[in-house]
Structure 1
Amino acid sequence: MHILLTGGTGLIGRSLCRYWSSQGHNLVVCSRQPEQVPRLCGASVRGIRQLADYGEQPLDAVVNLAGAPIADRPWTRKRKALLLASRVELTAHLVSWLGQRAAKPQVLLSGSALGWYGDGGEHLLTDDSPAVGDDFAAQLCAAWEFEAQQAQALGIRVVLLRTGLVLARDGGFLARLLTPFKLGLGGRLGNGRQWLPWIHLADQVALIDFLLHHPEASGAFNACAPVPVRNSEFTQALGRVLHRPTLLPVPAWVLRGLLGELAGLLLGGQRALPSRLSAAGFEFRFNDVQTALNDLLGPEDAA
């Protein structure tokens, strides 16, 4: 297949490129630094700076994962504008470009997040559940999904990937936690009761590939492990793997003082289930967080 990726140099995109390259697919990554694409994504992957550079070669599928990191810094007005531009405006531009092509791809798999639901509290959230919150993250995801869904009018199958926290050894949420936890400075956030929907990177790659190859799959899919955990449970599981205590909680008021509105993303969560993926026959390799962490972190991490 001929596959175009935006956000292909990110954590998920790099792993997808490595996997699909091994399957013999023809891959192109649109990136602000196209010269870095072969090094980051694989020697056979072509990098382009803008969509117009794709040319007239065939295009079977588009995977839209672009977006500035949402939790790296407080949500100032400038930061919110960047988050919106890197997701919503880029997706609108992508769909417009697809509309100008004579030959359309069969499918657009577009990124989103479980933050679409807002802070779900104790609500059990399946793929068909309505949104229960209206914070900035929820508004961002809603606008992002809206723009991707416009591709349906072009006759393109649209799949929305509502992804949880992706666990990986060399990047993302888990990598940022390793240093403080290894130093024995880890602990729950707030009261620790907020739900933390997670997924192992290997399962994230596998489910995207699964949805790519199932032409009946469309609409929103919760991309998270079948067994969500609370923040306190995740904290304890990580401490066990690293053989470190987790006795230093971060009070909610400290997070709010440091991060402002962004703190709501860490103090809230979603008790989400991947109901549609399970019904479609997708099988997760990593169902519980302890098994996932044991797989990702070896003895050298606990040293």
Structure 2
Amino acid sequence: MDILITGGTGFIGSRLTELLMDEGHDLTILTRSESKKENGIQYVQWLHKDSSPEREITPPNAVINLAGVSINDGSWSEAHQEKIYNSRMEATDELLRIMDALGKKPDVFVNASAVGIYPTSEMHVYTEESTEVAHDFLGKTVYDWEQKASKMKEYGTRVVYTRFGTVFGKGGGALPLIVLPYKLFAGGPIGSGQQWISWVHVEDVVRAISFAIQTPSLHGPVNVTAPAPVRMSDLGKAIGSVTHRPHWLPVPSIAMKIALGKKSKLVLEGQHVLPEKLNSSNFTFNYPAIRPALENILT
């Protein structure tokens, strides 16, 4: 299968590239760097004033859009929030322009998304059937991103919005932020400790994306979260146990807000999200439970 990827060199994208190569697909990655072919992958420059990627690429069977400034980086100042939002809108606009310029349209378009589209709640359980949308920065960003990507349906293309949970993995994602206090022997309950963390191992994220490409029945929102979300207090206890560090020093919400600013929302608030579509489609998680996932990443 010919697959076009944006954001193919990031935390998720680099691992997805490895998986898709192992599966025998032909990959083209849109990059801000100069066009080249390396290790069997075609890199094509885009988002540059002199680039015309539609002239260099073969019409793909599948498109995976992961482009955008990471929400785990930066301070979430007003300027940084603007970069997070605009990077997704601008990259998706350009990708839609490229698709429009190609004669043959892709069979499937997978657009990254996030469970941040759902309102935060300690009581409610969200599935793909949930229609509630959060009226905050993350909710607006994810909602607008999905709406923009939905334009691909006009071509008869199957569109999937992979709503990622809190992605855990080595060398990136949200876990380093949560684990750091434990490395300093200062780990403990964060905030109320009752907030839900709908987490997922990065290995299952990339496997779910590949699964979505190859499963015609999947369309619309697909929650990419492990089937067993945990409350923050239980996550902390598991981290302490796996790293052999104490879980004892409470971290008040105000301390997190001072240290992280608006980004503290990522650890102080959460949603209880279940991957009903993946479960009903017989997708198998390699890491359905939190302790084995942490053991794989932290040991």
Q: Which amino acid aligns with 2:274?
A: L
Question: 1:147-194 deviations in whole A, cap 9, x for unaligned?
Answer: 011110121110000001111122222234444322212223211110
Calculate the TM-score normalised by the size of structure 1. Answer: 0.91
Q: Which residue of 2 aligns with 1:227?
A: 228
Q: Which residue of 1 aligns with 2:41?
A: 45
Q: Which amino acid aligns with 1:103?
A: K
CA gap of 1:215–1:189, structure 2 versus 1, over 3 A, is same
Q: Which residue of 1 aligns with 2:8?
A: 8
Question: 1:117-153 deviations in whole A, cap 9, x for unaligned?
Answer: 0213310111111225311100110001000111101
Deviation for aligned residue 1:235 = 0.9
Mapped contact 2:36–2:42 kept (Cα < 8 A):
no
Mapped contact 1:67–1:86 kept (Cα < 8 A):
yes
User: What is the number of equivalent residue pairs in this alignment?
Assistant: 294
Superposed CA RMSD: 1.9
Which has the larger displacement, 258-267 or 275-284? Answer: 258-267
Q: Which residue of 1 aligns with 2:83?
A: 82
- 1:179, 1:75 → 2: CA distance? 19
Q: Which residue of 1 aligns with 2:294?
A: 293
Mapped contact 2:170–2:297 kept (Cα < 8 A):
yes
Deviation for aligned residue 1:279 = 0.9
Q: Which residue of 2 aligns with 1:139?
A: 140
CA gap of 1:209–1:146, structure 2 versus 1, over 3 A, is same
Deviation for aligned residue 1:210 = 0.9
Mapped contact 1:3–1:62 kept (Cα < 8 A):
yes
Q: Which residue of 2 aligns with 1:97?
A: 98
- 1:72, 1:112 → 2: CA distance? 17
Q: Which residue of 2 aligns with 1:207?
A: 208
- 2:151, 2:179 → 1: CA distance? 40
Q: Which residue of 2 aligns with 1:180?
A: 181
Q: Which residue of 1 aligns with 2:25?
A: 25
Calculate the TM-score normalised by the size of structure 2. Answer: 0.92
SS in 2 for 1:158: strand
Q: Which residue of 1 aligns with 2:279?
A: 278
Mapped contact 1:119–1:132 kept (Cα < 8 A):
no
- 2:68, 2:57 → 1: CA distance? 26
Mapped contact 1:117–1:132 kept (Cα < 8 A):
yes
Q: Which amino acid aligns with 1:94?
A: L
Deviation for aligned residue 1:297 = 2.6
Deviation for aligned residue 1:37 = 9.0
Deviation for aligned residue 1:7 = 0.8
- 2:75, 2:37 → 1: CA distance? 29
CA gap of 1:123–1:257, structure 2 versus 1, over 3 A, is same
- Relative to its length, the structure with more helix (as a share) is 1
Q: Which amino acid aligns with 1:74?
A: S
SS in 1 for 2:43: strand
- 2:242, 2:92 → 1: CA distance? 39
Which has the larger displacement, 130-139 or 103-112? Answer: 130-139
Mapped contact 2:164–2:225 kept (Cα < 8 A):
yes
- 1:260, 1:25 → 2: CA distance? 42
Question: 1:236-260 deviations in whole A, cap 9, x for unaligned?
Answer: 1011110001222321112223333
Q: How does 1:160-179 map to 2 (within 5 A)?
A: 160-179=161-180
Mapped contact 2:191–2:250 kept (Cα < 8 A):
yes
- 2:37, 2:266 → 1: CA distance? 31
Mapped contact 2:133–2:143 kept (Cα < 8 A):
no
- 2:272, 2:7 → 1: CA distance? 27
CA gap of 1:20–1:34, structure 2 versus 1, over 3 A, is farther
SS in 2 for 1:111: strand
